[in-house]
Structure 1
Protein backbone atom coordinates (compact mmCIF):
# COMPACT_ATOMS: atom_id res chain seq x y z
CA UNK A 1 0.00 0.00 0.00
CA UNK A 2 0.92 3.66 -0.45
CA UNK A 3 0.97 5.57 2.82
CA UNK A 4 1.27 9.30 3.28
CA UNK A 5 2.16 9.52 6.94
CA UNK A 6 1.39 12.93 8.47
CA UNK A 7 2.82 14.68 5.40
CA UNK A 8 3.16 18.43 5.08
CA UNK A 9 4.19 19.95 1.75
CA UNK A 10 5.18 23.59 1.32
CA UNK A 11 4.82 25.26 -2.08
CA UNK A 12 5.67 28.93 -1.79
CA UNK A 13 3.30 30.40 0.77
CA UNK A 14 0.94 27.43 0.43
CA UNK A 15 0.97 24.30 2.61
CA UNK A 16 -0.78 21.02 1.83
CA UNK A 17 -1.33 18.32 4.44
CA UNK A 18 -1.98 14.65 3.72
CA UNK A 19 -2.36 11.64 6.00
CA UNK A 20 -3.96 8.61 4.37
CA UNK A 21 -3.46 5.16 2.85
CA UNK A 22 -4.13 3.87 -0.68
CA UNK A 23 -4.30 0.12 -1.12
CA UNK A 24 -2.13 -1.51 -3.79
CA UNK A 25 -3.95 -2.04 -7.06
CA UNK A 26 -6.42 0.80 -6.48
CA UNK A 27 -7.43 3.30 -9.15
CA UNK A 28 -7.71 6.68 -7.48
CA UNK A 29 -8.77 10.07 -8.88
CA UNK A 30 -7.49 13.28 -7.29
CA UNK A 31 -9.95 16.12 -7.70
CA UNK A 32 -10.44 19.62 -6.33
CA UNK A 33 -10.40 23.32 -7.20
CA UNK A 34 -7.64 24.83 -9.33
CA UNK A 35 -4.64 25.73 -7.19
CA UNK A 36 -5.72 23.43 -4.35
CA UNK A 37 -2.55 21.33 -4.60
CA UNK A 38 -3.48 18.31 -6.74
CA UNK A 39 -0.33 18.40 -8.87
CA UNK A 40 1.73 19.31 -5.80
CA UNK A 41 0.52 16.11 -4.13
CA UNK A 42 1.42 13.98 -7.15
CA UNK A 43 4.85 15.61 -7.56
CA UNK A 44 5.62 14.94 -3.89
CA UNK A 45 4.70 11.27 -4.16
CA UNK A 46 6.90 11.03 -7.27
CA UNK A 47 9.83 12.70 -5.49
CA UNK A 48 9.93 16.00 -7.38
CA UNK A 49 9.02 17.96 -4.24
CA UNK A 50 10.38 17.59 -0.72
CA UNK A 51 8.27 17.12 2.38
CA UNK A 52 8.57 19.58 5.22
CA UNK A 53 7.22 16.89 7.55
CA UNK A 54 6.16 13.23 7.38
CA UNK A 55 6.95 10.22 5.21
CA UNK A 56 5.88 8.64 1.94
CA UNK A 57 5.93 4.84 2.15
CA UNK A 58 5.22 2.11 -0.40
CA UNK A 59 4.75 -1.41 0.94
CA UNK A 60 6.31 -0.23 4.22
CA UNK A 61 9.45 1.01 2.42
CA UNK A 62 10.28 4.65 3.11
CA UNK A 63 10.56 6.52 -0.21
CA UNK A 64 10.95 9.96 1.34
CA UNK A 65 14.68 10.37 0.75
CA UNK A 66 14.79 8.57 -2.61
CA UNK A 67 15.21 10.46 -5.88
CA UNK A 68 12.41 10.13 -8.47
CA UNK A 69 14.35 7.58 -10.52
CA UNK A 70 14.80 5.33 -7.49
CA UNK A 71 11.09 5.17 -6.67
CA UNK A 72 8.76 2.45 -8.03
CA UNK A 73 6.82 5.21 -9.77
CA UNK A 74 6.17 6.33 -13.34
CA UNK A 75 4.56 9.70 -14.01
CA UNK A 76 2.78 10.94 -17.10
CA UNK A 77 2.60 14.73 -17.38
CA UNK A 78 0.19 16.99 -19.23
CA UNK A 79 2.39 17.48 -22.29
CA UNK A 80 3.65 13.90 -22.57
CA UNK A 81 7.28 15.11 -22.78
CA UNK A 82 8.04 13.50 -26.13
CA UNK A 83 11.31 14.59 -27.76
CA UNK A 84 10.46 16.03 -31.18
CA UNK A 85 13.70 14.91 -32.85
CA UNK A 86 13.22 11.26 -31.84
CA UNK A 87 10.91 8.65 -33.36
CA UNK A 88 8.08 7.07 -31.38
CA UNK A 89 10.25 3.98 -30.90
CA UNK A 90 13.20 6.04 -29.65
CA UNK A 91 10.98 8.02 -27.28
CA UNK A 92 9.58 4.83 -25.79
CA UNK A 93 13.09 3.35 -25.51
CA UNK A 94 14.02 6.16 -23.12
CA UNK A 95 11.74 4.50 -20.60
CA UNK A 96 14.21 1.63 -20.46
CA UNK A 97 17.56 3.27 -21.20
CA UNK A 98 18.38 7.00 -21.03
CA UNK A 99 20.97 6.48 -23.77
CA UNK A 100 18.48 4.61 -25.96
CA UNK A 101 20.86 1.69 -26.53
CA UNK A 102 18.72 -1.41 -26.12
CA UNK A 103 19.32 -5.13 -26.14
CA UNK A 104 17.30 -7.29 -28.52
CA UNK A 105 14.95 -8.23 -25.71
CA UNK A 106 14.46 -4.59 -24.77
CA UNK A 107 13.73 -3.66 -28.38
CA UNK A 108 11.07 -6.37 -28.38
CA UNK A 109 9.59 -4.85 -25.21
CA UNK A 110 9.38 -1.45 -26.91
CA UNK A 111 7.64 -2.92 -29.96
CA UNK A 112 5.22 -4.82 -27.74
CA UNK A 113 4.40 -1.65 -25.80
CA UNK A 114 3.77 0.31 -29.02
CA UNK A 115 1.49 -2.44 -30.27
CA UNK A 116 -0.38 -2.60 -26.95
CA UNK A 117 -1.26 1.11 -27.12
CA UNK A 118 -2.33 0.88 -30.76
CA UNK A 119 0.80 2.24 -32.48
CA UNK A 120 1.85 -0.86 -34.40
CA UNK A 121 3.56 0.22 -37.61
CA UNK A 122 4.20 3.76 -36.37
CA UNK A 123 7.52 3.19 -34.59
CA UNK A 124 9.53 5.32 -37.05
CA UNK A 125 7.24 8.35 -36.93
CA UNK A 126 8.31 11.48 -35.08
CA UNK A 127 5.85 13.29 -32.79
CA UNK A 128 5.05 15.87 -35.48
CA UNK A 129 3.85 13.00 -37.67
CA UNK A 130 1.49 11.70 -34.99
CA UNK A 131 -1.93 13.01 -34.02
CA UNK A 132 -2.52 14.30 -30.49
CA UNK A 133 -4.06 11.00 -29.49
CA UNK A 134 -1.18 9.05 -30.99
CA UNK A 135 1.34 11.22 -29.13
CA UNK A 136 -0.49 10.43 -25.88
CA UNK A 137 -0.30 6.74 -26.74
CA UNK A 138 3.46 6.98 -27.34
CA UNK A 139 3.95 8.70 -23.98
CA UNK A 140 1.86 5.98 -22.34
CA UNK A 141 3.94 3.27 -24.03
CA UNK A 142 7.10 4.81 -22.57
CA UNK A 143 5.54 4.57 -19.12
CA UNK A 144 4.39 1.01 -19.84
CA UNK A 145 7.88 -0.35 -20.54
CA UNK A 146 9.12 0.93 -17.18
CA UNK A 147 6.90 -1.63 -15.39
CA UNK A 148 6.58 0.46 -12.24
CA UNK A 149 4.15 -0.42 -9.50
CA UNK A 150 2.69 3.07 -9.24
CA UNK A 151 1.46 5.17 -12.17
CA UNK A 152 0.75 8.87 -11.61
CA UNK A 153 -1.21 10.81 -14.23
CA UNK A 154 -1.24 14.62 -14.12
CA UNK A 155 -4.07 15.31 -16.58
CA UNK A 156 -2.12 13.95 -19.58
CA UNK A 157 -5.23 13.81 -21.77
CA UNK A 158 -6.68 17.24 -20.94
CA UNK A 159 -5.91 18.62 -24.42
CA UNK A 160 -7.70 15.80 -26.23
CA UNK A 161 -11.27 15.95 -27.46
CA UNK A 162 -13.96 14.14 -25.44
CA UNK A 163 -13.99 10.96 -27.54
CA UNK A 164 -10.19 10.62 -27.61
CA UNK A 165 -9.91 11.37 -23.91
CA UNK A 166 -12.46 8.68 -23.10
CA UNK A 167 -10.55 6.24 -25.29
CA UNK A 168 -7.28 6.98 -23.50
CA UNK A 169 -8.88 6.73 -20.06
CA UNK A 170 -10.26 3.32 -20.95
CA UNK A 171 -6.87 2.21 -22.23
CA UNK A 172 -5.12 3.35 -19.04
CA UNK A 173 -7.76 1.60 -16.93
CA UNK A 174 -7.34 -1.63 -18.89
CA UNK A 175 -3.54 -1.50 -18.57
CA UNK A 176 -3.73 -0.85 -14.83
CA UNK A 177 -6.03 -3.84 -14.37
CA UNK A 178 -3.85 -6.10 -16.54
CA UNK A 179 -0.66 -5.27 -14.65
CA UNK A 180 -2.03 -4.68 -11.13
CA UNK A 181 -0.61 -1.16 -11.21
CA UNK A 182 -1.75 1.32 -8.58
CA UNK A 183 -3.10 4.34 -10.42
CA UNK A 184 -3.43 7.94 -9.20
CA UNK A 185 -4.92 10.44 -11.63
CA UNK A 186 -5.36 14.20 -11.25
CA UNK A 187 -8.51 15.42 -12.96
CA UNK A 188 -10.77 18.47 -13.04
CA UNK A 189 -13.62 16.45 -14.55
CA UNK A 190 -15.99 14.42 -12.34
CA UNK A 191 -16.93 12.25 -15.31
CA UNK A 192 -13.28 11.18 -15.68
CA UNK A 193 -13.13 10.20 -12.03
CA UNK A 194 -16.35 8.22 -12.33
CA UNK A 195 -15.09 6.46 -15.44
CA UNK A 196 -11.69 5.29 -14.24
CA UNK A 197 -11.46 5.50 -10.44
CA UNK A 198 -12.99 3.33 -7.77
CA UNK A 199 -11.89 5.87 -5.15
CA UNK A 200 -11.33 9.62 -5.13
CA UNK A 201 -9.12 11.93 -3.06
CA UNK A 202 -10.53 15.41 -2.56
CA UNK A 203 -7.89 18.14 -2.34
CA UNK A 204 -9.28 21.36 -0.91
CA UNK A 205 -8.54 24.03 1.69
CA UNK A 206 -4.98 22.81 2.30
CA UNK A 207 -5.89 19.18 2.89
CA UNK A 208 -5.64 16.08 0.70
CA UNK A 209 -8.42 14.04 2.24
CA UNK A 210 -8.40 10.26 2.60
CA UNK A 211 -9.82 8.43 -0.43
CA UNK A 212 -13.50 7.53 -0.43
CA UNK A 213 -15.59 5.58 -2.96
CA UNK A 214 -16.02 7.78 -6.02
CA UNK A 215 -19.77 7.25 -6.34
CA UNK A 216 -20.26 8.06 -2.66
CA UNK A 217 -18.25 11.29 -2.90
CA UNK A 218 -20.20 12.68 -5.84
CA UNK A 219 -23.60 11.54 -4.58
CA UNK A 220 -23.05 13.39 -1.31
CA UNK A 221 -20.27 15.96 -1.89
CA UNK A 222 -18.83 17.90 1.04
CA UNK A 223 -19.21 21.70 0.92
CA UNK A 224 -15.77 22.34 -0.65
CA UNK A 225 -16.51 19.93 -3.51
CA UNK A 226 -20.09 21.18 -3.93
CA UNK A 227 -18.80 24.72 -4.33
CA UNK A 228 -16.22 23.57 -6.88
CA UNK A 229 -18.74 21.58 -8.92
CA UNK A 230 -21.25 24.45 -8.88
Structure 2
Protein backbone atom coordinates (compact mmCIF):
# COMPACT_ATOMS: atom_id res chain seq x y z
CA UNK A 1 0.00 0.00 0.00
CA UNK A 2 2.82 2.43 0.92
CA UNK A 3 4.46 1.81 -2.45
CA UNK A 4 1.32 2.80 -4.35
CA UNK A 5 0.90 5.92 -2.19
CA UNK A 6 4.44 6.93 -3.14
CA UNK A 7 3.63 6.27 -6.80
CA UNK A 8 0.55 8.51 -6.51
CA UNK A 9 2.55 11.25 -4.80
CA UNK A 10 5.23 11.17 -7.50
CA UNK A 11 2.61 11.06 -10.25
CA UNK A 12 0.80 14.05 -8.73
CA UNK A 13 4.06 15.96 -8.42
CA UNK A 14 4.92 15.24 -12.03
CA UNK A 15 1.43 16.28 -13.15
CA UNK A 16 1.78 19.57 -11.26
CA UNK A 17 5.24 20.00 -12.77
CA UNK A 18 3.88 19.54 -16.29
CA UNK A 19 1.07 22.01 -15.61
CA UNK A 20 3.51 24.61 -14.36
CA UNK A 21 5.83 23.90 -17.28
CA UNK A 22 3.08 24.45 -19.82
CA UNK A 23 2.14 27.76 -18.25
CA UNK A 24 5.60 28.97 -17.31
CA UNK A 25 7.02 31.91 -19.24
CA UNK A 26 4.23 31.97 -21.82
CA UNK A 27 3.16 35.53 -21.07
CA UNK A 28 6.72 36.80 -20.60
CA UNK A 29 7.94 35.18 -23.81
CA UNK A 30 5.02 36.52 -25.80
CA UNK A 31 5.42 39.97 -24.33
CA UNK A 32 9.13 39.96 -25.12
CA UNK A 33 8.53 38.67 -28.66
CA UNK A 34 5.95 41.38 -29.27
CA UNK A 35 8.35 44.01 -27.95
CA UNK A 36 11.12 42.75 -30.26
CA UNK A 37 8.74 42.84 -33.22
CA UNK A 38 7.64 46.38 -32.41
CA UNK A 39 11.18 47.68 -32.01
CA UNK A 40 12.35 45.89 -35.12
CA UNK A 41 9.59 47.57 -37.11
CA UNK A 42 9.13 50.98 -35.56
CA UNK A 43 11.70 51.30 -32.78
CA UNK A 44 13.78 54.35 -32.03
CA UNK A 45 17.53 54.35 -32.38
CA UNK A 46 17.99 53.79 -28.68
CA UNK A 47 15.46 50.91 -28.71
CA UNK A 48 17.17 49.33 -31.69
CA UNK A 49 20.40 49.25 -29.70
CA UNK A 50 18.68 47.12 -27.05
CA UNK A 51 17.32 44.68 -29.63
CA UNK A 52 20.23 42.13 -29.46
CA UNK A 53 19.91 42.00 -25.70
CA UNK A 54 16.16 41.44 -25.91
CA UNK A 55 16.62 38.68 -28.44
CA UNK A 56 19.20 37.02 -26.19
CA UNK A 57 16.74 37.18 -23.30
CA UNK A 58 14.04 35.58 -25.45
CA UNK A 59 16.34 32.75 -26.52
CA UNK A 60 17.38 32.24 -22.92
CA UNK A 61 13.76 31.89 -21.85
CA UNK A 62 13.10 29.42 -24.65
CA UNK A 63 16.20 27.37 -23.80
CA UNK A 64 15.31 27.33 -20.12
CA UNK A 65 11.84 26.05 -20.89
CA UNK A 66 13.22 23.41 -23.25
CA UNK A 67 15.60 22.14 -20.57
CA UNK A 68 12.77 22.04 -18.05
CA UNK A 69 10.67 20.09 -20.54
CA UNK A 70 13.46 17.57 -21.07
CA UNK A 71 13.85 17.15 -17.31
CA UNK A 72 10.11 16.62 -16.87
CA UNK A 73 10.14 14.06 -19.69
CA UNK A 74 12.95 12.14 -17.99
CA UNK A 75 11.13 12.21 -14.64
CA UNK A 76 7.92 10.97 -16.27
CA UNK A 77 9.73 8.21 -18.16
CA UNK A 78 11.57 7.25 -14.98
CA UNK A 79 8.35 6.86 -13.00
CA UNK A 80 6.73 4.85 -15.80
CA UNK A 81 9.86 2.67 -16.08
CA UNK A 82 9.99 2.00 -12.34
CA UNK A 83 6.32 1.03 -12.22
CA UNK A 84 6.71 -1.18 -15.28
CA UNK A 85 9.83 -3.00 -14.04
CA UNK A 86 8.75 -3.39 -10.42
CA UNK A 87 5.05 -4.10 -10.85
CA UNK A 88 3.83 -4.54 -14.42
CA UNK A 89 6.56 -6.82 -15.79
CA UNK A 90 6.52 -9.26 -12.82
CA UNK A 91 2.72 -9.36 -13.02
CA UNK A 92 2.88 -10.25 -16.72
CA UNK A 93 5.52 -12.92 -16.07
CA UNK A 94 3.43 -14.29 -13.20
CA UNK A 95 0.35 -14.54 -15.38
CA UNK A 96 2.26 -16.20 -18.21
CA UNK A 97 3.86 -18.69 -15.84
CA UNK A 98 0.54 -19.59 -14.30
CA UNK A 99 -1.04 -19.83 -17.72
CA UNK A 100 1.58 -22.39 -18.78
CA UNK A 101 1.56 -24.43 -15.58
CA UNK A 102 -2.18 -24.21 -15.08
CA UNK A 103 -2.65 -25.35 -18.67
CA UNK A 104 -0.32 -28.32 -18.10
CA UNK A 105 -2.09 -29.20 -14.88
CA UNK A 106 -5.46 -29.00 -16.61
CA UNK A 107 -4.29 -31.34 -19.38
CA UNK A 108 -3.00 -33.87 -16.88
CA UNK A 109 -6.11 -33.50 -14.76
CA UNK A 110 -8.36 -33.98 -17.78
CA UNK A 111 -6.63 -37.07 -19.16
CA UNK A 112 -5.70 -38.74 -15.86
CA UNK A 113 -8.55 -37.78 -13.54
CA UNK A 114 -10.98 -40.55 -14.53
CA UNK A 115 -8.27 -43.21 -14.35
CA UNK A 116 -7.13 -42.16 -10.89
CA UNK A 117 -10.72 -41.99 -9.69
CA UNK A 118 -11.31 -45.57 -10.82
CA UNK A 119 -8.09 -46.62 -9.11
CA UNK A 120 -9.33 -45.11 -5.87
CA UNK A 121 -12.60 -47.01 -6.27
CA UNK A 122 -10.78 -50.29 -6.82
CA UNK A 123 -12.04 -50.55 -10.39
CA UNK A 124 -8.74 -51.71 -11.86
CA UNK A 125 -10.09 -52.90 -15.20
CA UNK A 126 -11.87 -49.58 -15.59
CA UNK A 127 -8.69 -47.76 -14.61
CA UNK A 128 -6.73 -49.59 -17.33
CA UNK A 129 -9.30 -48.49 -19.90
CA UNK A 130 -9.21 -44.91 -18.62
CA UNK A 131 -5.41 -44.83 -18.73
CA UNK A 132 -5.54 -46.13 -22.29
CA UNK A 133 -7.86 -43.24 -23.16
CA UNK A 134 -5.37 -40.89 -21.51
CA UNK A 135 -2.53 -42.39 -23.57
CA UNK A 136 -4.55 -41.87 -26.74
CA UNK A 137 -5.09 -38.20 -25.85
CA UNK A 138 -1.47 -37.59 -24.85
CA UNK A 139 0.51 -40.22 -26.77
CA UNK A 140 3.95 -38.86 -25.86
CA UNK A 141 3.27 -39.14 -22.14
CA UNK A 142 4.78 -42.35 -20.75
CA UNK A 143 2.88 -42.20 -17.45
CA UNK A 144 -0.37 -43.83 -18.64
CA UNK A 145 1.55 -46.84 -19.97
CA UNK A 146 3.58 -47.14 -16.79
CA UNK A 147 0.41 -46.95 -14.67
CA UNK A 148 -1.32 -49.58 -16.80
CA UNK A 149 1.61 -51.98 -16.47
CA UNK A 150 1.71 -51.36 -12.71
CA UNK A 151 -1.99 -52.14 -12.36
CA UNK A 152 -1.62 -55.28 -14.45
CA UNK A 153 1.28 -56.51 -12.32
CA UNK A 154 0.16 -55.53 -8.84
CA UNK A 155 -3.62 -55.67 -8.96
CA UNK A 156 -4.57 -57.90 -11.89
CA UNK A 157 -1.56 -60.22 -11.42
CA UNK A 158 -1.10 -60.45 -15.16
CA UNK A 159 2.62 -59.93 -15.89
CA UNK A 160 2.24 -61.01 -19.50
CA UNK A 161 -0.29 -58.22 -20.03
CA UNK A 162 2.16 -55.78 -18.42
CA UNK A 163 4.87 -56.97 -20.83
CA UNK A 164 2.54 -56.45 -23.78
CA UNK A 165 1.63 -52.96 -22.56
CA UNK A 166 5.25 -51.90 -22.16
CA UNK A 167 6.29 -53.38 -25.49
CA UNK A 168 3.36 -51.66 -27.17
CA UNK A 169 4.49 -48.38 -25.64
CA UNK A 170 8.17 -48.84 -26.57
CA UNK A 171 7.47 -49.82 -30.15
CA UNK A 172 4.55 -47.48 -30.73
CA UNK A 173 6.21 -44.08 -30.28
CA UNK A 174 9.41 -42.27 -31.19
CA UNK A 175 10.27 -41.56 -27.56
CA UNK A 176 12.85 -39.19 -26.19
CA UNK A 177 15.92 -41.00 -24.82
CA UNK A 178 14.90 -40.68 -21.16
CA UNK A 179 11.39 -42.01 -21.80
CA UNK A 180 12.51 -44.89 -24.00
CA UNK A 181 15.18 -45.99 -21.53
CA UNK A 182 12.75 -45.75 -18.62
CA UNK A 183 10.20 -47.97 -20.35
CA UNK A 184 12.88 -50.52 -21.31
CA UNK A 185 14.11 -50.69 -17.70
CA UNK A 186 10.54 -51.25 -16.50
CA UNK A 187 10.11 -54.05 -19.03
CA UNK A 188 13.38 -55.67 -17.94
CA UNK A 189 12.15 -55.42 -14.35
CA UNK A 190 8.98 -57.34 -15.18
CA UNK A 191 10.95 -60.10 -16.92
CA UNK A 192 13.41 -60.40 -14.05
CA UNK A 193 11.15 -60.00 -11.02
CA UNK A 194 7.86 -61.50 -12.21
CA UNK A 195 8.92 -64.20 -14.69
CA UNK A 196 12.42 -64.95 -13.37
CA UNK A 197 13.58 -64.55 -16.96
CA UNK A 198 16.89 -62.81 -16.37
CA UNK A 199 18.21 -63.52 -19.84
CA UNK A 200 15.35 -61.59 -21.47
CA UNK A 201 15.89 -58.82 -18.94
CA UNK A 202 19.63 -58.80 -19.70
CA UNK A 203 18.90 -58.63 -23.43
CA UNK A 204 16.81 -55.51 -22.86
CA UNK A 205 19.54 -53.87 -20.79
CA UNK A 206 22.05 -54.67 -23.51
CA UNK A 207 19.69 -52.95 -25.98
CA UNK A 208 19.73 -49.89 -23.74
CA UNK A 209 23.54 -49.89 -23.87
CA UNK A 210 23.55 -50.33 -27.65
CA UNK A 211 20.88 -47.71 -28.39
CA UNK A 212 21.96 -45.07 -25.89
CA UNK A 213 25.74 -45.32 -25.54
CA UNK A 214 27.63 -42.75 -23.51
CA UNK A 215 24.53 -41.92 -21.45
CA UNK A 216 23.69 -42.48 -17.81
CA UNK A 217 21.13 -45.04 -18.97
CA UNK A 218 23.88 -47.09 -20.58
CA UNK A 219 25.98 -46.81 -17.43
CA UNK A 220 23.04 -47.90 -15.25
CA UNK A 221 22.36 -50.88 -17.53
CA UNK A 222 26.04 -51.89 -17.45
CA UNK A 223 26.06 -51.65 -13.66
CA UNK A 224 22.95 -53.80 -13.40
CA UNK A 225 24.36 -56.45 -15.70
CA UNK A 226 27.55 -56.47 -13.63
CA UNK A 227 25.49 -57.03 -10.47
CA UNK A 228 23.76 -59.93 -12.19
CA UNK A 229 27.06 -61.36 -13.27
CA UNK A 230 26.11 -61.14 -16.93
CA UNK A 231 29.01 -60.21 -19.24
TM-score (norm 1): 0.29
Q: Larger strand proportion, structure 1 or 2?
A: 1
Greater gyration radius: 2
Of structures 1 and 2, the one scoring higher in RCO (CA 8 A, sep 6+) is 1
Hey, which of these two has a bigger chunk of helix by percent?
Answer: 2
